[in-house]
Structure 1
């Protein structure tokens, strides 16, 4: 589970063995018992979320958008 970023206690990562066939590029964000999944392409958007209030989800989305190119690059590097 490669960790990509830690921000305000949230860990951004992707699973090294997630789905066959492999899903499109995405990242997860987790803190305590809360977690969200964000698609990176074609635009950053929320795939799922659990136990996250709308304000926090909006902030997490902004973090993913700010780091999208880095996250997608790491995804392709890892899975190639």
Structure 2
């Protein structure tokens, strides 16, 4: 589970097997996890994050979108 970066205690990462799916990032903190698609910033799933947390996570993902896509492509060889 490579960690891409951390923000305010949130861990942004992906699972090794995620390369078969479109680019996305998982975000975890305190047993809560969500999955955000990187192309359109839609939420694939959310397990436990409040709407306020989710909005903040989407804002951070938008700010880091280009870097996340670059690292995704480097990691998964695209």
TM-score, normalisation: structure 1: 0.91
Give the Cα–Cα distance (whole angstroms) in 1 for the partners of residues 21 and 45 of structure 2: 14
**Two-structure CA RMSD over aligned residues (Å):** 1.1
Aligned match of 1:78? 75
Q: Could you list the runs of 5+ residues in structure 1 that have no partner in the other structure?
A: none
Give the Cα–Cα distance (whole angstroms) in 1 for the partners of residues 23 and 18 of structure 2: 11
Aligned match of 1:25? 23
Give the Cα–Cα distance (whole angstroms) in 2 for the partners of residues 3 and 33 of structure 1: 16
The structure in which a higher percent of residues are helix is 2
Give the Cα–Cα distance (whole angstroms) in 2 for the partners of residues 78 and 16 of structure 1: 9
Query: Which of 60, 63, 66 is residue 66 of structure 1 equivalent to?
Result: 63
